[in-house]
Amino acid sequence: MKPVINIVWLKRDVRLHDHPPLYAAIQAKKPVLLLYCFETGLIEKSVYSERHWRFVTEGLRDLYIQIRKVQKHNVQVVYGDLISLLKDLCLYFTIDTIFSSQETGIKWTFDRDKTILKYSREQRIKWHQYSTDGIRRAIKNRINWISDWYNYMSQPIQEINIASAQLLELPSMLKKKYDASVFTRKIEDRPVHFQKGGETEGFKYLNTFLSGRFLKYMKQISKPQLSRESCSRLSPYLAWGHLSLRYVYQQSKKVNTENPRGKYIRGFLDRLRWRSHFMQKFEDEIEMEYRPLNKGYINFKLEDNEDFIRRWKKGQTGIPLVDACMRCLITTGYLNFRMRAMLVSFFTHHLLQDWKIAAEHLGALFLDFEPGIHYPQIQMQAGITGINAIRIYNPVKQSQDHDAAGVFIKTWVPELQNTSKEHIHCPWEQAPLLQLWSSNDYPKPIVDVDKAARIAREYLWSLRKDQSIKNEAKRILKIHAIPRVKRYKKVKK
Ligand SMILES: Cc1cc2nc3c(=O)[nH]c(=O)nc-3n(C[C@H](O)[C@H](O)[C@H](O)COP(=O)(O)OP(=O)(O)OC[C@H]3O[C@@H](n4cnc5c(N)ncnc54)[C@H](O)[C@@H]3O)c2cc1C
C-alpha cells in the first residue's frame, strides 16, 4: 500500500502567514508535501525574466529558513514539468488532495491548470483552490463585488502552526530528476538596486511604511524620485505572494483608524482595492494578454518601426524623462505609477507602436510583474479599451511638473549631467553651441513631441467613432464596470 498524502502546491503565495491552502492542509492531519515547482514552460515565456525567478528563489530561501527552525523536513523545490512530476509522485504515493491558491495568471498558467484538473479527476485526486486577494472565478458581472471584497478583506486571519504540519521529503529519485539547482544556480546574484524577495523582507517594507513613510504617500506619489521612498514598495511582495493582500489591508486599516494622522493612508487603502479590481477584470477576460479588451480595436493594426522600438527599449529616445524612466527600470526593476503610464503612452501614442510589444518588454522588467494588473493597465494607458478617457502624457510637461530640478533625469541619464535646469527637460531647445558643450553625447529627439501627440490624438478619436468599438464598449461596461449605485452605496469598510 502506498502512503496517503496531501500536497500544498505553492504558486504566487510563497509565505507562512495568511495562507488558507496551507492552513487547510495542516487541519487535514495527513502527511503534507509542501511543493514549489519552477515550471520550464512558464520560464520560457518572454514576459518572465531572471529578475522574477531570483525574487521567487529568495522567497523560497526565506521560507526554508523559517521552517528549518521548527521542522525536520522542509519545502520541496523542484524544476521541470508539473504534470510529469505529479505522475511520478503517483508511483510513490496515493495523493488524496492538492491544496492551492487560485491563480489569476496568463493563458499558459490557465491551460496548465486545466490539464492539472483533468489529470486529478482521472486519478480521483481532490483539488481545493482558495480565492486570492478576493478575486472570484466565473462571475457574470460586478454586482456586490465591492461589498464581497471588503468582506473578504475583513475575515480573521488563520494562524499557521507550521510546527504541527507532518511535512514530507520527496523520494530521492525524484529529487534528482527534478533538481531545482540546475535552474537556480544559473540565476546570478541580485544587483544592489533590486528589492530582495521573501516574507521577512516584505514585513520590513510594510513596517517602515506603516510607521511613517505613508505620511508623504499621496503628496509624492507622482514624483519619479521621491515616490521611491514614500510609496509602499510592497508591489513585488504582493505580486509574488510573499505578503498577503488581506494582511497588508488589515494592518493599514488599523493605522487608518488608530493613528491620529491615519487619514494620510486612505489613498493607499483605495489602491489595494484597485489592485483586486484590475485582477478581477483580467480573471474575467484573460484574452487581454494577447488581444484588446475592446475587440473593435483588433482590426486596427500599427506598423512596427524597428528603430523606434529599439530606442524606446534602451532608453535612447532623446526625450530625457522617457529615457531616465526606462534606464532606471532596467537597473532597479521599479517605477512609480505615473512614470509607467507615461512610458506606455509615449510608446503607443507618440511613437504609434503596438501595445503588445510594450506589455512584453515592461512585464519582463517590472520586478512586480502581475499579469492581472499589468495587461489591463497597459491597455488602458494605450487608449484601447473604448471606455476610459484617452490620456496622452506629455513627457516634457511631466518632467517639468514632477522632476523640476532634473534630479531623477541626471541620476539615470549621465550624458545630461552638465545641462542647465532650464534645458534639462528639452535639451534640443538649447542654442547649438550650448548643445554641443552640455549634451552632445545625448541623442536628438526621436519625434517632435507636440506634433506626434496631435497626430495620435486625431487617430485615437477617429477610432472611437467606429461602430464595432462603440458596441464593444457597451459590452465591457456591462461585465466589468462596478454598478454606480453599488459603487457609491455605503459599504462596510
Ligand atoms: C502600464 C502599467 C503597468 C503596471 N503593471 C503592474 C504590475 O505588473 N504589477 C503591479 O503590482 N503593479 C503594476 N502597475 C500598477 C502600479 O504602477 C504599481 O502597483 C505601483 O507603482 C507599485 O508601487 P508600490 O508598491 O510602491 O505602490 P503603492 O502606490 O504603494 O500601492 C500599493 C499597492 O497597490 C496596488 N496598486 C497601486 N496602484 C495601482 C494601480 N493603479 N492599479 C492597480 N493596483 C495598484 C499595488 O499592488 C501596489 O503594490 C502598473 C501600472 C501601469 C501604468
Q: Tell me: the pLDDT tens digits for 455-493?
A: 999 999 999 999 999 999 999 998 888 876 555 455 555
Q: Is 112 in the pocket of ligand 1 (CB under 6 A)?
A: no
Asked whether residue 424 is domain-assigned, the answer is yes
Q: What's the chain's Rg over C-alpha atoms?
A: 24
Asked whether residue 162 is domain-assigned, the answer is no
Asked whether residue 419 is domain-assigned, the answer is yes
Q: Is 381 in the pocket of ligand 1 (CB under 6 A)?
A: yes
pLDDT at 479: 87
Asked whether residue 386 is domain-assigned, the answer is yes
Asked whether residue 435 is domain-assigned, the answer is yes
Which atom of ligand 1 is least distant from the CA of 371? 8
pTM: 0.96
End-to-end alpha carbon distance in the chain: 52
Counting the structural domains of the chain, the total is: 2
Best of 253, 368, 380 for a ligand 1 pocket test (most atoms within 8 Å of beta carbon)? 368
CA distances (Å), 127 to each of 84, 115, 120, 219, in order?
17, 12, 7, 46
404 three-class SS? coil
Of the residues 130, 163, 186, which one is the last residue of a structural domain?
130
Average model confidence (pLDDT) across the chain: 95
Task: Pick the residue whose CA is nearest to atom 19 on ligand 1.
Answer: 235
Domain CATH for 311:
1.10.579.10
Give dist(CA 487, CA 80) in Å, integer.
Answer: 45
Give dist(CA 77, CA 8) in Å, integer.
Answer: 12
pLDDT band (50, 70, 90) for residue 386:
confident
Asked whether residue 49 is domain-assigned, the answer is yes
Q: Which helix (H) or strand (E) holds 309?
A: helix 306-314
Cell of 26: 495542516
Asked whether residue 137 is domain-assigned, the answer is no
Report DSSP state, residue 262.
G
pLDDT at 484: 65
Of the residues 130, 161, 192, which one is the last residue of a structural domain?
130
Angle at 201 between CA 196 and CA 204, to 5 degrees: 130
Which atom of ligand 1 is least distant from the CA of 278? 43
Asked whether residue 234 is domain-assigned, the answer is no
Q: Is 370 in the pocket of ligand 1 (CB under 6 A)?
A: yes
Domain CATH for 74:
3.40.50.620
Phi, psi of 413 (to 5 degrees): -125, 80
342's CB contacts (< 8 A; 6+ apart) are: 321, 322, 325, 393, 395, 398
Which atom of ligand 1 is least distant from the CA of 374? 5
Rounded to an integer, the average pLDDT of 42-70 is 98
- Per-residue pLDDT tens digits for 237-270: 999 999 999 999 999 999 999 999 999 999 999 9
Cell of 155: 475575515
Give dist(CA 384, CA 359) in Å, integer.
Answer: 13
pLDDT at 421: 93
Domain encompassing residue 78: 4-130
Q: Is 238 in the pocket of ligand 1 (CB under 6 A)?
A: yes
Question: How do strand 32-39 and strand 126-130 relate by DSSP bridges?
Answer: unpaired
Q: Is 243 in the pocket of ligand 1 (CB under 6 A)?
A: no
Q: Is 271 in the pocket of ligand 1 (CB under 6 A)?
A: yes
Q: Is 233 in the pocket of ligand 1 (CB under 6 A)?
A: yes
Q: Is 275 in the pocket of ligand 1 (CB under 6 A)?
A: yes
Of the residues 67, 98, 130, which one is the last residue of a structural domain?
130
Rounded to an integer, the average pLDDT of 348-367 is 98
